[in-house]
Amino acid sequence: MSRVSDAVHYLDRAARLRLAYRHVAGAGPTIVFLPGYMSDMAGGKASALFDWAASEGRACLLLDYAGCGLSGGLFAEQTLLDWRGDVLDLIDAKVDGPVLLVGSSMGGWLMLLTALALTARDGADRVAGLVGIAAAPDFTDWGFTAEEKAIILAEGQLREETSYSDQPYVTTRAFWQSGEANLLLEAPIALTCPVRLLHGQEDGDVPPEISLRLSAALAGDDVQVTLVKGGDHRLSRDSDIALLVDTVARLTP
Protein backbone atom coordinates (compact mmCIF):
# COMPACT_ATOMS: atom_id res chain seq x y z
CA MET A 1 0.00 0.00 0.00
CA SER A 2 1.34 3.44 -0.92
CA ARG A 3 1.82 6.06 1.77
CA VAL A 4 -0.43 9.08 1.36
CA SER A 5 2.62 11.10 0.32
CA ASP A 6 3.36 8.67 -2.51
CA ALA A 7 -0.11 8.71 -4.08
CA VAL A 8 -0.47 10.48 -7.43
CA HIS A 9 -3.94 11.47 -8.63
CA TYR A 10 -5.23 13.02 -11.85
CA LEU A 11 -7.63 15.82 -12.59
CA ASP A 12 -9.53 15.34 -15.84
CA ARG A 13 -10.75 18.58 -17.41
CA ALA A 14 -13.16 19.13 -20.25
CA ALA A 15 -11.25 20.29 -23.35
CA ARG A 16 -8.08 20.78 -21.32
CA LEU A 17 -5.11 18.60 -20.51
CA ARG A 18 -5.09 16.08 -17.67
CA LEU A 19 -3.17 17.23 -14.60
CA ALA A 20 -1.21 15.09 -12.14
CA TYR A 21 -1.27 16.08 -8.50
CA ARG A 22 -0.65 14.89 -4.94
CA HIS A 23 -2.93 16.00 -2.14
CA VAL A 24 -3.18 15.42 1.57
CA ALA A 25 -6.10 16.70 3.61
CA GLY A 26 -5.56 18.44 6.92
CA ALA A 27 -5.72 21.74 8.75
CA GLY A 28 -5.63 24.86 6.64
CA PRO A 29 -4.57 26.99 5.02
CA THR A 30 -3.76 24.52 2.25
CA ILE A 31 -0.11 24.73 1.24
CA VAL A 32 0.18 24.77 -2.57
CA PHE A 33 3.67 24.27 -4.03
CA LEU A 34 4.39 25.72 -7.49
CA PRO A 35 7.52 24.30 -9.18
CA GLY A 36 9.96 26.19 -11.38
CA TYR A 37 10.45 26.14 -15.13
CA MET A 38 10.92 22.61 -16.50
CA SER A 39 10.44 21.24 -12.99
CA ASP A 40 7.74 19.13 -11.37
CA MET A 41 6.28 17.98 -8.07
CA ALA A 42 8.90 15.24 -7.62
CA GLY A 43 11.58 17.79 -6.69
CA GLY A 44 13.26 17.74 -3.30
CA LYS A 45 11.71 20.93 -1.92
CA ALA A 46 8.18 19.97 -2.96
CA SER A 47 8.52 16.43 -1.58
CA ALA A 48 10.03 17.59 1.71
CA LEU A 49 7.30 20.18 2.24
CA PHE A 50 4.57 17.68 1.37
CA ASP A 51 5.93 15.04 3.76
CA TRP A 52 6.25 17.62 6.54
CA ALA A 53 2.66 18.76 5.97
CA ALA A 54 1.39 15.18 6.04
CA SER A 55 3.27 14.46 9.29
CA GLU A 56 1.88 17.62 10.91
CA GLY A 57 -1.71 17.16 9.81
CA ARG A 58 -1.53 20.11 7.40
CA ALA A 59 -3.34 20.24 4.07
CA CYS A 60 -0.98 20.32 1.08
CA LEU A 61 -1.32 20.20 -2.70
CA LEU A 62 1.43 19.54 -5.25
CA LEU A 63 0.97 19.55 -9.02
CA ASP A 64 2.65 19.09 -12.36
CA TYR A 65 1.81 21.83 -14.84
CA ALA A 66 0.55 20.66 -18.24
CA GLY A 67 3.48 19.43 -20.31
CA CYS A 68 5.54 18.72 -17.19
CA GLY A 69 6.13 15.60 -15.11
CA LEU A 70 3.19 13.22 -15.17
CA SER A 71 0.64 15.67 -16.60
CA GLY A 72 -0.58 15.52 -20.17
CA GLY A 73 0.51 17.73 -23.03
CA LEU A 74 3.70 19.03 -24.57
CA PHE A 75 5.92 21.41 -22.64
CA ALA A 76 6.64 23.60 -25.65
CA GLU A 77 2.93 24.24 -26.23
CA GLN A 78 2.31 25.83 -22.82
CA THR A 79 2.37 29.49 -21.77
CA LEU A 80 2.66 31.26 -18.44
CA LEU A 81 -1.10 31.87 -18.31
CA ASP A 82 -1.82 28.27 -19.29
CA TRP A 83 0.08 27.20 -16.18
CA ARG A 84 -1.70 29.78 -14.03
CA GLY A 85 -4.94 28.23 -15.28
CA ASP A 86 -3.68 24.79 -14.23
CA VAL A 87 -3.00 26.04 -10.71
CA LEU A 88 -6.41 27.72 -10.44
CA ASP A 89 -8.20 24.63 -11.75
CA LEU A 90 -6.58 22.39 -9.15
CA ILE A 91 -7.22 24.84 -6.33
CA ASP A 92 -10.87 25.04 -7.39
CA ALA A 93 -11.13 21.24 -7.55
CA LYS A 94 -9.28 20.31 -4.34
CA VAL A 95 -9.17 23.25 -1.93
CA ASP A 96 -11.88 24.73 0.26
CA GLY A 97 -10.79 27.82 2.11
CA PRO A 98 -7.55 29.80 2.16
CA VAL A 99 -4.31 28.81 0.44
CA LEU A 100 -0.66 29.44 1.28
CA LEU A 101 1.16 29.58 -2.05
CA VAL A 102 4.82 28.52 -2.18
CA GLY A 103 6.57 29.31 -5.46
CA SER A 104 10.05 28.25 -6.57
CA SER A 105 11.82 30.32 -9.26
CA MET A 106 9.28 30.70 -12.10
CA GLY A 107 6.76 29.26 -9.64
CA GLY A 108 7.26 32.49 -7.71
CA TRP A 109 5.88 34.41 -10.69
CA LEU A 110 2.93 32.03 -10.96
CA MET A 111 2.45 32.38 -7.19
CA LEU A 112 1.90 36.12 -7.63
CA LEU A 113 -0.35 35.78 -10.69
CA THR A 114 -2.43 33.10 -8.96
CA ALA A 115 -2.73 35.17 -5.78
CA LEU A 116 -3.87 38.21 -7.76
CA ALA A 117 -6.48 36.12 -9.60
CA LEU A 118 -7.79 34.51 -6.40
CA THR A 119 -7.92 37.84 -4.57
CA ALA A 120 -9.80 39.52 -7.41
CA ARG A 121 -12.30 36.66 -7.63
CA ASP A 122 -12.72 35.52 -4.02
CA GLY A 123 -11.42 38.37 -1.86
CA ALA A 124 -8.20 38.93 0.02
CA ASP A 125 -8.97 36.29 2.65
CA ARG A 126 -8.53 33.49 0.07
CA VAL A 127 -4.73 33.95 0.13
CA ALA A 128 -3.28 33.42 3.60
CA GLY A 129 0.30 34.08 2.55
CA LEU A 130 3.07 33.67 0.01
CA VAL A 131 6.52 32.08 0.26
CA GLY A 132 8.92 32.64 -2.63
CA ILE A 133 12.08 30.59 -3.14
CA ALA A 134 14.36 32.49 -5.52
CA ALA A 135 11.16 33.95 -6.96
CA ALA A 136 11.61 34.98 -10.60
CA PRO A 137 8.77 37.31 -11.65
CA ASP A 138 9.31 39.03 -15.00
CA PHE A 139 12.21 36.78 -16.03
CA THR A 140 11.20 37.06 -19.68
CA ASP A 141 12.19 40.72 -19.31
CA TRP A 142 15.43 40.65 -17.29
CA GLY A 143 16.49 37.04 -17.90
CA PHE A 144 17.36 37.30 -21.61
CA THR A 145 19.72 39.47 -23.59
CA ALA A 146 18.49 41.56 -26.50
CA GLU A 147 20.08 39.03 -28.86
CA GLU A 148 18.30 36.12 -27.19
CA LYS A 149 14.97 37.92 -27.33
CA ALA A 150 15.53 38.54 -31.04
CA ILE A 151 16.13 34.81 -31.59
CA ILE A 152 12.93 33.92 -29.73
CA LEU A 153 10.89 36.29 -31.85
CA ALA A 154 12.55 35.48 -35.18
CA GLU A 155 12.94 31.70 -34.85
CA GLY A 156 10.04 30.88 -32.53
CA GLN A 157 12.15 29.43 -29.73
CA LEU A 158 15.45 29.61 -27.88
CA ARG A 159 17.25 26.44 -26.78
CA GLU A 160 19.82 26.71 -23.99
CA GLU A 161 21.99 24.11 -22.26
CA THR A 162 21.42 23.93 -18.52
CA SER A 163 23.21 22.34 -15.58
CA TYR A 164 19.84 21.42 -14.04
CA SER A 165 18.80 18.90 -16.71
CA ASP A 166 20.18 16.72 -19.49
CA GLN A 167 17.56 18.35 -21.72
CA PRO A 168 18.01 21.92 -22.99
CA TYR A 169 15.81 24.72 -21.71
CA VAL A 170 13.37 25.69 -24.44
CA THR A 171 11.72 29.10 -24.38
CA THR A 172 9.04 29.50 -27.03
CA ARG A 173 7.76 32.70 -28.59
CA ALA A 174 4.29 32.04 -27.12
CA PHE A 175 5.63 31.59 -23.60
CA TRP A 176 7.87 34.66 -23.86
CA GLN A 177 5.03 36.81 -25.16
CA SER A 178 2.77 35.52 -22.37
CA GLY A 179 5.39 36.57 -19.86
CA GLU A 180 5.88 39.99 -21.39
CA ALA A 181 2.12 40.58 -21.23
CA ASN A 182 2.08 39.81 -17.48
CA LEU A 183 5.04 41.73 -16.05
CA LEU A 184 4.61 42.77 -12.42
CA LEU A 185 7.67 44.49 -11.01
CA GLU A 186 7.31 47.92 -12.60
CA ALA A 187 4.03 48.75 -10.82
CA PRO A 188 2.53 48.22 -7.36
CA ILE A 189 1.40 44.63 -6.79
CA ALA A 190 -1.98 44.70 -5.02
CA LEU A 191 -1.34 41.93 -2.51
CA THR A 192 -1.45 42.60 1.23
CA CYS A 193 -1.06 39.10 2.69
CA PRO A 194 2.11 38.09 4.58
CA VAL A 195 4.99 37.37 2.17
CA ARG A 196 8.32 35.64 2.87
CA LEU A 197 11.02 35.65 0.19
CA LEU A 198 14.00 33.28 0.50
CA HIS A 199 16.95 33.87 -1.81
CA GLY A 200 20.47 32.44 -2.01
CA GLN A 201 23.22 35.05 -2.07
CA GLU A 202 25.13 32.92 -4.60
CA ASP A 203 22.17 32.50 -6.96
CA GLY A 204 23.62 32.65 -10.47
CA ASP A 205 20.27 32.43 -12.24
CA VAL A 206 17.94 34.82 -10.42
CA PRO A 207 19.77 37.79 -8.88
CA PRO A 208 18.86 38.40 -5.21
CA GLU A 209 17.98 41.93 -6.33
CA ILE A 210 14.78 40.49 -7.83
CA SER A 211 13.47 39.55 -4.39
CA LEU A 212 14.30 43.05 -3.15
CA ARG A 213 12.45 44.58 -6.11
CA LEU A 214 9.49 42.30 -5.46
CA SER A 215 9.44 43.27 -1.79
CA ALA A 216 9.33 46.95 -2.74
CA ALA A 217 6.54 46.42 -5.27
CA LEU A 218 4.19 44.49 -2.96
CA ALA A 219 1.44 46.61 -1.42
CA GLY A 220 1.49 44.93 1.99
CA ASP A 221 3.76 45.78 4.90
CA ASP A 222 4.25 42.23 6.22
CA VAL A 223 7.01 41.33 3.75
CA GLN A 224 10.36 39.83 4.73
CA VAL A 225 13.35 38.96 2.54
CA THR A 226 15.83 36.36 3.82
CA LEU A 227 19.19 36.21 2.03
CA VAL A 228 20.88 32.84 2.56
CA LYS A 229 24.67 32.99 2.76
CA GLY A 230 26.24 30.44 0.39
CA GLY A 231 22.85 29.51 -1.03
CA ASP A 232 22.56 28.88 -4.78
CA HIS A 233 19.50 28.98 -7.01
CA ARG A 234 18.20 25.59 -5.92
CA LEU A 235 18.29 26.26 -2.15
CA SER A 236 18.11 22.49 -1.69
CA ARG A 237 20.71 21.83 1.03
CA ASP A 238 19.39 20.29 4.24
CA SER A 239 19.67 23.67 5.95
CA ASP A 240 17.80 25.36 3.10
CA ILE A 241 14.97 22.81 3.28
CA ALA A 242 14.78 23.29 7.05
CA LEU A 243 14.52 27.06 6.54
CA LEU A 244 11.72 26.57 4.01
CA VAL A 245 9.73 24.29 6.30
CA ASP A 246 10.21 26.62 9.26
CA THR A 247 9.12 29.61 7.18
CA VAL A 248 5.96 27.83 6.03
CA ALA A 249 5.23 26.56 9.54
CA ARG A 250 5.31 30.09 10.93
CA LEU A 251 2.67 31.16 8.42
CA THR A 252 0.34 28.21 9.16
CA PRO A 253 -0.86 28.62 12.76
Q: What is the CATH number of the domain that holds 117?
A: 3.40.50.1820
| Number of folded domains that form the chain | 1
What separation in angstroms does the CA of 240 have from each of 23, 29, 156, 196, 245?
A: 23, 23, 37, 14, 9
Residue 43 has pLDDT above 60, yes or no: yes
Answer yes or no: 203 catalytic: yes
Task: Assess if residue 90 is contained within a domain.
Answer: yes
Q: What is the percent of the chain with per-residue pLDDT over 90, rounded to a whole number?
A: 92
Q: Is the pTM of this model over 0.75?
A: yes
Task: Assess if residue 79 is contained within a domain.
Answer: yes
> What single-letter amino acid sits at 127?
V
pLDDT at 163: 66
Answer yes or no: 86 catalytic: no
Task: Assess if residue 223 is contained within a domain.
Answer: yes
Task: Assess if residue 116 is contained within a domain.
Answer: yes
pLDDT at 4: 46
Among 138, 203, 205, 240, the active-site one is 203
Averaged confidence pLDDT in the chain:
95
Tell me which residue of 135, 34, 141 sits closest to 90, measured CA to CA. 34
Tell me which residue of 22, 30, 44, 56 sits closest to 127, measured CA to CA. 30
Among 71, 105, 178, 211, the active-site one is 105
Task: Assess if residue 86 is contained within a domain.
Answer: yes
Among 138, 205, 233, 240, the active-site one is 233
Residue 1 has pLDDT above 80, yes or no: no
Span 189-199, mean pLDDT? Answer: 98
pLDDT band at residue 165 using 50, 70 and 90 as cut-offs: low
Q: Which phi and psi angles does 179 have, rounded to 5°?
A: -65, -45
Answer yes or no: 105 catalytic: yes
Task: Assess if residue 162 is contained within a domain.
Answer: no
Question: 60: domain range?
Answer: 4-137+192-250
In sequence order, what are the beta bridge partners of 160? 169
Tell me which residue of 249, 107, 30 sits closest to 241, measured CA to CA. 249
pLDDT band at residue 37 using 50, 70 and 90 as cut-offs: very high
Model pLDDT for residues 67-106, shown as the tens digit of each residue = 999 999 999 999 999 999 999 999 999 999 999 999 999 9
Q: Dihedral through CA 102, CA 32, CA 123, CA 95, nearest 10?
A: -170
Task: Assess if residue 33 is contained within a domain.
Answer: yes
Span 22-42, mean pLDDT? Answer: 96
Model pLDDT for residues 200-253, shown as the tens digit of each residue = 999 999 999 999 999 999 999 999 999 999 999 999 999 999 999 999 999 997
Task: Assess if residue 42 is contained within a domain.
Answer: yes
Tell me which residue of 50, 116, 128 sits closest to 88, measured CA to CA. 116
pLDDT band at residue 167 using 50, 70 and 90 as cut-offs: confident
Residue 164 has pLDDT above 80, yes or no: no
